[in-house]
Structure 1
Amino acid sequence: MKFGWIILMISMLADVAASLLAKQVDGFRRPFLLAAVIGVYMVAMGLFMYCMKVLPIGPAFAIWSGIGMVLIAVLSIFFYRQIPDGPAIVGMSLIVLGTVVLSTMSKMQVH
């Protein structure tokens, strides 16, 4: 099952990379970059579907989506100069807190 969590992290990072690259596609004016974004999203989803076989869906999806969103927001500071305001920081903190609670305190099991 530890391997499943590693694959989940790789899937999440692929999703984050594709999301950040998607901003560069520029309204379908860069077809090769668009193809790369679609390819990376396909890798992310393929890995995520594997994880759904071996991990509990609640914590796995919380980590994949929640931490992925926070990573995108944080990396957007550096790549796109999108500075989060106070409410955004509070929201991201709550996402991280919820993810930690769900993944450490939940007793969900794979069936």
Structure 2
Amino acid sequence: MPYVLLAAAIAAEVAGTTAMKFSHGFSKLWPSLGTVAGYLLAFTLLAQALKTMQVGTAYAIWAGVGTAAIAVIGIVFLDETASAAKLAGIALVIGGVVLLNLDGAH
């Protein structure tokens, strides 16, 4: 169950960050409200997940998966560049999250 809560927290954070892009510096109401709602939900769900997860593992997954997801969203939907360095960075972030999870399983 904590991994489901963490996944939902990551999805809410990614949605909030994406909405922030469309808020144009918080000058547009609905995307700004989406940002606030996304982050409130994300932190609430993360706090629930942390009741039974190690904070280091949970935060590494949160930060890594969220960062990789936002980078992919930028490339696929927001017309950002997909350089070899950026793609390698995404792969390294995902690899780091996997390694931390393997270590946390022992």
TM over 0.5: yes
Greater relative contact order structure (CA < 8 Å, 6+ sep): 1
Partner of 2:80, secondary structure, is coil
Q: Structure 1 length normalisation: TM-score?
A: 0.87
1:26 and 1:71 mapped to 2: Cα distance? Answer: 20
Q: Which runs of 5+ in 1 are unaligned?
A: none
Q: Is the counterpart of residue 80 in structure 1 residue 81 in structure 2?
A: no
Query: 1:30 Cα deviation (Å)?
Result: 0.8
Count of residue pairs the alignment pairs up: 106
2:60 and 2:90 mapped to 1: Cα distance? Answer: 13
1:1-111 → structure 2 map (5 Å cutoff): 3-106=1-104
Aligned sequence identity (%): 26
Query: 1:49 Cα deviation (Å)?
Result: 1.0
RMSD: 1.4
1:19 and 1:53 mapped to 2: Cα distance? Answer: 25
Query: 1:86 Cα deviation (Å)?
Result: 1.4
Note if contact 2:2-2:53 (Cα within 8 Å) is conserved in structure 1. Answer: yes
1:102 and 1:15 mapped to 2: Cα distance? Answer: 21
2:47 and 2:20 mapped to 1: Cα distance? Answer: 21
Q: Which amino acid is 2:36 matched to?
A: I
Note if contact 2:20-2:26 (Cα within 8 Å) is conserved in structure 1. Answer: no
1:84 and 1:31 mapped to 2: Cα distance? Answer: 30
